[in-house]
C-alpha cells in the first residue's frame, strides 16, 4: 500500500527518469498521458510515498454515482485493478451492482409517484368544474406533491463534495493500513440502508395499490407524505452515520498513537509523520462532509418550509369555505411539514455538535501527550516531526462548514415558524384581494338607462 501517496516536497532523492518520461509525453492524448503518469508515479520508491496522493489518479467515483450512493447510504468500496502492477486501490461503485440498482429504483419510483399525483390533480384542475378557491387549493397541492421529488435532487449540490469524500476515504484506508498495519473499515450506515430499502418497497407499491385496489379513493395521495418523511430520515441518518465514523476514527487514531508511543519500538520520525498525515486527512474529510451535507440540510429546510406554508394556507382556506373534502389531506400535509421542520433543525444541531465536540477533546489530548514527551530522548528527525505535529494540532483546529449551521440550535425552528407565518399572512391578504375583486359587481351592471321623464 505504500505506493498510494504523493512524495513530499523538497525531499526527492529518487531517480527522476520515470517522471521525466511522463512529462515528455505531453503531446500525446489524455488517456495515454494519464496511463504513463500512473506508471511513473507507481514506480517511485515506497519510502518517499507518505504525503498526499495525486488528485487526478484516484477520482473514480463521479457526482452522479455519489448522488445514487447518497440516496441509498451505500458504502463505496475499494477495488484493485489487474492492469496495475503494484496493485493500487481505487474507489468504485459499479452501475451493475444491486446497490446502484436499488438507488436508481428509489429515484424512479419516487418520480412515478409524484407524476401520478400531479396528473390526478391536473385532470381535476383542467376540468373546469371546480370553484375558484378549490382550484387554488389544487394548485397548492400540485406544488406540495412535486416538492418531495426535489429532496433527492438536493443531493446534487453536495455531489462533488460527496464524491470527494468517498474517494478520500479510500485513500485514508490505504494510509491507515500503511501507518498502523491494521485495516480500517466503514461499518456505519446500516440503519440508513434499511430505511432506504423500506422506501423503495413502499414507493413502488403505492402506485400499484392505487391502480389495482383504491382507484376511486379520493385520498390515495396520502402515501406520498410518509415517503417524504422517510427520505428526510435517510438524509439525516446518512449524515449522522458518516460524521460518527469520522469521529470514531479520530478516537481510534489517538488510541493507536498512545499505544505506539508507549510500546517498545517507540516513536520514529516516519511514524510521527504518518500519524500527522492521518490527522490531516481526517480533518479534510470532516470539512468535505460538512460542506456537502450543509447545502443539503439548508435546501431541505427551505423545501419543508414551502411545503408547510402551502399546507397551512390550504387548510385555512378549506376550513373557511367548507371544502371538507380537502381538509383531511391538508391536515396531513401540515402535520408532516411541521414535523419535518423540527426534525431537520434538530438533526442540523446534533450533526454540528457531533462533529465539533468529540474531535476537539481528541486533538487536545494528543497535543498534551506530544507536549509532555521528553524530546531529549528522541533523535533530531523525530523531534522535528513532533514539533510539526504540535503545530498542526494547535494552530489548525478542525472547522466544520455547514453553510450557516455551524452554531445551529433548536431556535432555528422558531425562526422558520415565524417566516412561515409571515408568508401565510401575505398569501391570505392576496387571497382576500382576489376574492373581493371577483365578488365585486362589474361597472356595466350599475349602468341604468335614464328614463324619459318628460313623458
pLDDT 10s digits, 356-369 = 555 666 777 777 77
**Distance separating alpha carbons of residues 431 and 433, to the nearest angstrom:** 5
User: Of 17-31, 246-260, 337-351, which range is least confident?
Assistant: 17-31
* Count of other CB atoms within 10 angstroms of residue 92: 18
Q: Is the pLDDT of residue 332 over 60?
A: yes
Query: What is the reported pLDDT for 31?
Result: 52
Q: What is the pLDDT of residue 50?
A: 36
Structure confidence at residue 70 (pLDDT)? 57
Round the average pLDDT of the chain to a whole number and report it: 61
Mean pLDDT of 398-415: 56
Instruction: State the cell numbers at 256.
Output: 493507536
Q: Give the mean pLDDT of 387-416.
A: 61
Mean pLDDT of 436-440: 62
* Residue range 264-303, pLDDT digits in tens: 777 777 888 888 888 777 777 776 666 666 666 666 677 6
- Report which of residues 122 and 32 the model is more confident about: 122
Residue 224 has pLDDT above 50, yes or no: yes
Of 152 and 7, the one with more pLDDT: 152
State residue 93 phi and psi, 5-degree precision: -145, 90
pLDDT > 70? residue 423: yes
Query: pLDDT by residue (tens digit) across 195-223?
Result: 555 555 555 555 554 444 444 444 445 55
d(CA 265, CA 270) in angstroms, rounded, equals 12
pLDDT at 78: 47
Cα–Cα dist 375/265, whole Å: 16
Rounded mean pLDDT of 409-432? 70
Instruction: Give me the pLDDT at residue 386, please.
Output: 79
Exposure of 416 in the CB half-sphere (CA atoms within 13 A) = 28
pLDDT at 113 over 50: yes
pLDDT at 405 over 60: no
Q: What is the pLDDT of residues 259-268, one digit of tens each?
A: 887 777 777 7
- Is the pLDDT score of 406 beyond 60? no
Q: 233: alpha, beta or left, given left = phi > 0 and alpha = psi -120 to 50?
A: alpha
User: Mean pLDDT throughout 316-340?
Assistant: 69
- CA 80 to CA 92: how far, in whole Å? 10
Range 237-241, long-range pairs (CB < 8 A, 24+ positions): 237/73, 237/189, 237/191, 237/192, 237/195, 238/70, 238/73, 238/189, 238/192, 239/289, 239/293, 239/296, 239/297, 239/347, 239/351, 240/347, 240/350, 240/351, 240/354, 241/73, 241/188, 241/189, 241/191, 241/192
CA distance 261 to 255: 10
C-alpha cell at 45: 520508491
The whole-model pTM stands at: 0.53
Contact residues for 125 (Cβ-Cβ < 8 A; gap 6+): 135, 138, 139, 142
Mean of pLDDT values over 219-248? 58
pLDDT tens digit string along 30-51? 455 445 544 544 444 443 333 3
Task: Assess contact for 327 and 138: CB atoms under 8 A.
Answer: no
What is the structure's pLDDT at 22? 38
- Other CB atoms closer than 10 Å to residue 327's CB: what's the count? 14
- Evaluate if residue 434 carries a pLDDT over 50: yes
How much is the pLDDT for 425? 76
Name the nearest CA neighbour of 249 among 358, 349, 391, 158: 358
- Give me the residues paired with residue 78 across strands: 91
pLDDT in tens, 145-164: 666 566 556 555 555 566 66
- The pLDDT confidence band at residue 82, using thresholds 50, 70 and 90, is very low
Amino acid at each position: 500500500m505504500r505506493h498510494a501517496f504523493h512524495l513530499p516536497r523538497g525531499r526527492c532523492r529518487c531517480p527522476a527518469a520515470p517522471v521525466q518520461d511522463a512529462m515528455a509525453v505531453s503531446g500525446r492524448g489524455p488517456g495515454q498521458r494519464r496511463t504513463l503518469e500512473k506508471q511513473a508515479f507507481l514506480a517511485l520508491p515506497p519510502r518517499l510515498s507518505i504525503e498526499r496522493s495525486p488528485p487526478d489518479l484516484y477520482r473514480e467515483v463521479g457526482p452522479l454515482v455519489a448522488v445514487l450512493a447518497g440516496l441509498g447510504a451505500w458504502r463505496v468500496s475499494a477495488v484493485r485493478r489487474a492492469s496495475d502492477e503494484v496493485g493500487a486501490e481505487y474507489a468504485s461503485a459499479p452501475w451493475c451492482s444491486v446497490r446502484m440498482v436499488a438507488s436508481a429504483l428509489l429515484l424512479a419510483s419516487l418520480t412515478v409517484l409524484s407524476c401520478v399525483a400531479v396528473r390526478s390533480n391536473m385532470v381535476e384542475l383542467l376540468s373546469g368544474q371546480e370553484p375558484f378557491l378549490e382550484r387554488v387549493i389544487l394548485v397548492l397541492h400540485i406544488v406540495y406533491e412535486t416538492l418531495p421529488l426535489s429532496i433527492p435532487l438536493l443531493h446534487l449540490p453536495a455531489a462533488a463534495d460527496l464524491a470527494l469524500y468517498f474517494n478520500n476515504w479510500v485513500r485514508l484506508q490505504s494510509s491507515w493500513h500503511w501507518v498502523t498495519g491494521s485495516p480500517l473499515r466503514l461499518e456505519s450506515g446500516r440503519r440508513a440502508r434499511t430505511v432506504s430499502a423500506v422506501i423503495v418497497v413502499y414507493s413502488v407499491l403505492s402506485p400499484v395499490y392505487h391502480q389495482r385496489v383504491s382507484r376511486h379513493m379520493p385520498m390515495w395521495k396520502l402515501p406520498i407524505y410518509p415517503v417524504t418523511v422517510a427520505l428526510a430520515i435517510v438524509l439525516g441518518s446518512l449524515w449522522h452515520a458518516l460524521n460518527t465514523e469520522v469521529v470514531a476514527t479520530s478516537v481510534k487514531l489517538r488510541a493507536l498513537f498512545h499505544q505506539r508511543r508507549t510500546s517498545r519500538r517507540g516513536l520514529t520520525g516516519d511514524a510521527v509523520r504518518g500519524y500527522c498525515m492521518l490527522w490531516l486527512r481526517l480533518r479534510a474529510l470532516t470539512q468535505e462532509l460538512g460542506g456537502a451535507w450543509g447545502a443539503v440540510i439548508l435546501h431541505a429546510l427551505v423545501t419543508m418550509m414551502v411545503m408547510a406554508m402551502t399546507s397551512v394556507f390550504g387548510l385555512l382556506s378549506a376550513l373557511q369555505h367548507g371544502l371538507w373534502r380537502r381538509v383531511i389531506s391538508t391536515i396531513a400535509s401540515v402535520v408532516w411539514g411541521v414535523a419535518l421542520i423540527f426534525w431537520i433543525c434538530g438533526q442540523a444541531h446534533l450533526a454540528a455538535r457531533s462533529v465539533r465536540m468529540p474531535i476537539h477533546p481528541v486533538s487536545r489530548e494528543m497535543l498534551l501527550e506530544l507536549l509532555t514527551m521528553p524530546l531529549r530522548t528522541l533523535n533530531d528527525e523525530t523531534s522535528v516531526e513532533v514539533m510539526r505535529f504540535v503545530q498542526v494540532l494547535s494552530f489548525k483546529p478542525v472547522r466544520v462548514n455547514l453553510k450557516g449551521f455551524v452554531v445551529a440550535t433548536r431556535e432555528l425552528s422558531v425562526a422558520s415558524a415565524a417566516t412561515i407565518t409571515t408568508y401565510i399572512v401575505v398569501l391570505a391578504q392576496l387571497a382576500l384581494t382576489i376574492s373581493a375583486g371577483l365578488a365585486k359587481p362589474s361597472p356595466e351592471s350599475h349602468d341604468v338607462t335614464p328614463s324619459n321623464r318628460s313623458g
